[in-house]
Amino acid sequence: MMGKLLDIFFPPRCAVCTEVLSLEERNDFLCEDCREDLPCFPKGECPHCGGETKTYGFCELCLKEFAFSDACVVFPYEVVRDAIHLFKYEGDKTIGYGLGELMAEYLQKEQKELLEKADVMVSVPLHPRKEKFRGFNQTHILCEKISEKTGLPFEKNALERKRETIAQSELNPAERKLNLKDAFSVKKDFTGKTVLLVDDIFTTGTTCNECAKELYRAGAKEVLVFSLSAAGTKER
């Protein structure tokens, strides 16, 4: 009874386009249109610069900018912008779990090699004060679902944000680097491990890059980045 009432006042929505699901669609987390034609990044297009690449991931030229050795993204940010907003800022965890399941499906279908290389998964951390205010860390929810569906171990809270920082979206690229310098630390030993680092939005890559540096200091053999979305592309 309670579930039916909740569906009336808070009807389940598609995890990508956020349209209200029909009664027939509610055994899934996607509407029929998104399920039939999921708007993921196409193979051959670098999610960071838009240039040509032979894979579903970043091109070699872009990877040279970063400490991590490989990276891939599921969606352009514009595609899942509304879904991410409902998830992060309105607390719709159902959409979050749906997005996590999509990420798991993407790894299993399009990034099998990346999944097979990874020994463990970690998430980009929030500062404890921000996580308490929001009530959850959105990347934890994504990772929990990815781990459940793929079997890849998730080391929750292995990475921590040591100090509060200004929101990266408010800064230019140079300011972003300074803002996150020495902002992270690692609480586990990752000696010899290939680590899959998960984030929800990849913009300039500064956050993932700083996290990757700390993971290497903790002994990681390799760091791979996996993001739900990428916001914009840099000029080549």
Query: What pTM was computed for the model?
Result: 0.88
Same-domain pairing of 175 and 121: yes
Q: How many domains does the chain have?
A: 2
Same domain? For 87 and 162 the reply is yes
236 falls within a domain: no
How much is the pLDDT for 3? 43
Residues 13 and 119 in one domain: no
Single out the residue of 99, 91, 103 nearest to residue 137, CA to CA. Answer: 91
* CATH number of the domain residue 145 falls in: 3.40.50.2020
The DSSP call for residue 114 is H
Q: Is residue 212 part of a domain?
A: yes
**What is the reported pLDDT for 235?**
46
Other Cβ atoms within 10 Å of 100 Cβ, number? 28
**Could you tell me if residue 178 is inside a domain?**
yes
Tokens of 21: 């699901």
Q: Is residue 235 part of a domain?
A: no
The angle formed by the CA atoms of residues 178, 75 and 163, to the nearest 5 degrees, is 25
User: Helix 138-150 and helix 93-110: axis angle, to 10°?
Assistant: 50
**Local confidence pLDDT in tens for the 236 residues of the chain:** 444 444 545 688 898 999 998 877 777 888 999 888 888 998 899 999 999 998 889 999 999 999 999 999 999 999 999 999 999 999 999 999 999 999 999 999 999 999 999 999 999 998 888 888 888 899 999 999 999 999 999 999 999 998 777 666 666 666 776 777 788 999 999 999 999 999 999 998 999 999 999 999 999 999 999 999 998 655 43
For residues 77 and 142, state if they share a domain: yes
Residue 236 is predicted with a pLDDT of 39
Q: Which residues, including other chains, have CB under 8 Å from residue 226's CB and lie 6 or more apart?
A: 71, 72, 73, 103, 107, 111, 114, 196, 197, 198, 199
> pLDDT digit string (tens) for 29-69?
889 998 888 889 988 999 999 999 988 899 999 999 999 99
Domain holding 26, by residue range, is 1-38
Give the Cα separation of 107 and 101 in Å (integer): 10
Q: Which residue has the tokens 């929750």?
A: 156
